Structure 1
Amino acid sequence: MLATKRSPLVWAVHLSVLLIVILWTLPTAGLLISSLRDKDQLAVSGWWTALSTSSQNLVYRAPGAEAQAQKDGKFVISGNVLDGANAKVSAFGFSSREPAAFPAGQTATLNDGAQLTVREDGSFDLVSDKSFEGDRGQRIFITAGVPPRFTFDNYREVLRAAGIGTSFINSLTVAIPATVIPILIAAFAAYALAWMQFPGRAVLVAVVVGLLVVPLQMSLIPLLRLYNSIGGMLGVPAKTYAGIWLAHTGFGLPLAIYLLRNYMAGLPKEIMESARVDGASDFEIFVKIILPLSFPALASFAIFQFLWTWNDLLVAMVFLGAGDQELVLTGRLVNLLGSRGGNWEILTASAFITIIVPLLVFFALQRYLVRGLLAGSVKGG
């Protein structure tokens, strides 16, 4: 058999998909690498240089006069500017205006006549003909090449922050029921709209499609007022998990019903007809046939809904509150970054802690994602 040649269009599609995958993966990979880097290296170089030696400008203060010793008629203060760090000095200086004025190993003459020598290994000698005075030692500016360093200290610092564990549990308490509840309700509604004949079915489908474009921000306040008024009549507290579950259910139902209805409408009609001939009711058909066959669509919506509810901050602040015991993970990290926003290591570690659970959910269910989105997209039922 002759080997078939792939057309240039196929290669173009494959290359485009590969490029898209790389573009989507690079930010996450960069975030993970940055979160594991030493905070000093992270502050001066990008994540793509993580495996190369980085050049850092450091300041070291030599010991004061109490550390001097007399050698060959001269007064000497010795030490190491690297303090045991695995690095190599390339240049040094004694003035902030010229921090790299001298190469490593050269001797520099200070303003008071003393001589300073800093070597590549960081050892230095400060030599003077007269005795050193004062408790504050000489400042030494160095430029050092530091090999790559990786650490879990950034994660330890974030996880030690007060309330992170409580907020993590709060986010799970919000996200899991807020994902399961709309799936249960939407599955019943989608089956009815796809396979059951009743007056007004087309109108209901149109209403569901129309609700897809309603902005969350426009409906949030009316929904909150309605919930508070009903809760006041029933004596239910305003800030509860039940409230945020209902809110997420209301916001997620239009997409869930639309997605599941399109999928179920594309299932073979003969299966349902055979089940009815055998005497199965609509409920039995739904539970024993439709639900197992609709798992790809259910998993697709579960991914979207879980990502939305896990990363949500606005709805959680409105319906659950911003108290220390009610704050979700996104709110807790926002507060942490508000006071530590200048620390890049805190930013990267916090961001990756936020996305690790959604990543696990996505990779666990991603094989169903495309099937659930595309199946039933042609046949409307």
Structure 2
Amino acid sequence: MSDATFQRGPARLIDRFGGGVLQVLLILVAIFWLVPTLGLLVVSLRAEADNNSSGWWTLFAKPAQLTLENYGNLLASGFSSSFWNTVLITVPATLLVIGIAAMAAYAFAWIEFPGRDALFLVVIALLVVPVQIALIPIAKLYGAVGIFGSIAGVVLFHVAFGLPFAIFLLRNFFAGIPRELLEASRMDGAPEWRIFATVVFPLAKPAIASLGIFQFLWVWNDLLVALVYADTENQPMTKALQSQMRQFGTNIDILAPGAFLSLIIPLVLFFAFQRYFVQGLLAGSGK
């Protein structure tokens, strides 16, 4: 038997069994990652007395512990209004960032205008500005214009601090679009807005989906901005859950179902668009 045949034997074994082992390993990692989520779901479906007396894993021995009473108490506490406040904050903040950033990124990538590079450097510099620096100045500004404590104030804050990263991400993707496509459209007499709407924007679905997931998760899970700018009537779920914390207890019968409801929607969104999310992360990597 030749050396080449001897060397191909182990390679064939690796090709045959290596993929299966890798898949099993990834499945085990995914299960391990989902254990805290499963535990939170089980805790949210158990009575407070059961949670205080035993761990959530005892459910497998006593499945009769499951109850929807915690979710009923959660809705009775007014949590549903906080849920809709979160939706009213997150959806506009995400859509506005995508729309404004897409148009700005197209201009930075394909439209020549004086000071373009310097202005783009300013946008990049804004990425390093921490949110905490702007809390007090913007609070004074909101108080002067009369939107402090409102949903609009929270949305505008998230839009302002989400735009630098959004423009940076989409600009890198737009710059990778072949110039020939845009030049052909210009030769046909199409204006810039039409090129953007019919050529660039449809091709940017992976990057836009990735940006949408980033922005949605940041706003949905935000607590700091909500604590500063949202009053009690307009508070999102994160602030509502924080207000349920006790000094000497956890109030688990309210916190567990509320935390699971706030977790499940971003989780579903991520799994629904994970293919576009990965493509968007790789956008412009060759630049």
TM-score range, shorter chain: 0.7 to 0.9
Match of 2:189 in 1: 279
Greater relative contact order (Cα < 8 A, sep 6+): 2
Shift of 1:15: 6.0
In 1: Cα distance, 2:283 partner to 2:30 partner: 22
Counterpart AA for 2:239: G
Q: Which of 230, 238, 247 is the equivalent residue of 1:330?
A: 238
| Counterpart position of 1:214 | 129
Q: Equivalent residue of 1:32, what SS?
A: helix
Structure 1 residue aligned with 2:256, among 318, 324, 348?
348
Q: Which residue of 2 aligns with 1:243?
A: 153
Given that 1:297 and 1:369 are in contact with CA atoms closer than 8 Å, whether structure 2 keeps it comes out as: yes
Q: 1:281 to 1:17 in 2, by over 3 A?
A: farther
Contact 2:244 2:251 in 1 (8 A): no
Normalised by the size of structure 1, how large is the TM-score? 0.66
Larger Rg: 1
Deviations 1:82-120 (A, max 9, x none): xxxxxxxxxxxxxxxxxxxxxxxxxxxxxxxxxxxxxxx
The aligned residue for residue 276 of structure 2 is 368
Once the 2 structures are TM-superposed, how far is the Cα of residue 290 of structure 1 from its aligned partner?
A: 0.9
Q: Please tell me whether residue 200 in structure 1 is matched to residue 109 in structure 2.
A: no
- Rounded to whole Å, the distance in 2 between the matches of 1:16 and 1:50 is 27
Which residue of structure 1 aligns with residue 3 of structure 2? none
The letter for the 1-side match of 2:179 is: K
Which residue, 185, 207, 215 being the options, matches 2:100? 185
1:278 maps to amino acid? D
Structure 2 Cα separation of the partners of residues 340 and 177 of structure 1 = 37
Number of equivalenced pairs:
277
1:171-204 alpha-carbon deviations (Å, 9 max, x no partner): 1111111111111110011111111222332223
Task: Write 1 or 2 for the structure with the bigger share of strand.
Answer: 1
| Deviation, structure 1 residue 363 | 2.9
Q: In 1, distance between residues paired with 2:183 and 2:66?
A: 62
Instruction: Go from structure 1 to structure 2 and tell me whether the alpha carbon gap of 1:20 and 1:213 turns closer, same or farther (over 3 Å shift).
Output: farther
Question: For the aligned residues, what is the CA RMSD?
Answer: 2.7
1:24 aligned counterpart, secondary structure: helix
Q: Deviation of residue 292 (structure 1)? A: 1.0
Question: Structure 1: which 5+ runs fail to align?
Answer: 54-146
1:53-64 to 2 correspondences below 5 Å: 53=62
**Is the counterpart of residue 299 in structure 1 residue 209 in structure 2?**
yes
Q: Identity rate of aligned residues, in percent?
A: 46
Residue 164 (structure 1) shift: 1.5
Q: Deviations over 1:221-274 (max 9, x none)?
A: 223334444x2xxxx443333222211111100111111111111222221122
* Match of residue 171, structure 1, among 64, 70, 86: 86
Relative to the length of structure 2, the TM-score reads 0.85
Shift in Å, 1:369: 0.7
Which of residues 140, 165, 168 in structure 2 aligns to 1:255?
165
**Are the counterparts in 2 of residues 341 and 347 from structure 1 also a CA contact under 8 Å?**
no
What's the secondary structure of 1:50's corresponding residue?
A: helix
Instruction: Say yes or no: does 1:24 pair with 2:33.
Output: yes
Secondary structure at 2:50's aligned position in 1?
helix
Q: Which one is further off, 293-302 or 9-18?
A: 9-18
After TM superposition, the structure 1 stretch with the greater mean CA deviation from structure 2, 263-272 or 196-205, is 196-205
Aligned mate of 1:40, from 49, 54, 70: 49
* 1:283-311: CA deviation from partner (whole Å, max 9, x where unpaired): 11101111111112111111111122122
Is the alpha carbon distance of 1:13 and 1:212 closer, same or farther for their aligned partners in structure 2, counting shifts above 3 Å?
farther
Q: Which stretch of the first structure deviates more once superposed, 178-187 or 4-13? A: 4-13
Partner of 2:4: none
Aligned residue among 294, 305, 308 for 2:218: 308
SS at match of 1:338: coil
For 1:219, the aligned partner's letter is A
Deviations 1:13-51 (A, max 9, x none): 656644543343221122112212343332233233321
Query: Which amino acid letter does the alignment assign opposite residue 180 of structure 2?
Result: E
For residue 257 of structure 1, give the secondary structure of its aligned residue in structure 2.
Answer: helix
- What's the counterpart of residue 79 of structure 1? none
> Alpha-carbon deviation of 1:341?
3.7
Q: What is residue 6 of structure 2 aligned with on the other side?
A: none
Question: Equivalent residue of 1:327, what SS?
Answer: coil
Q: Check conservation: 1:340, 1:346, Cα contact below 8 A.
A: no
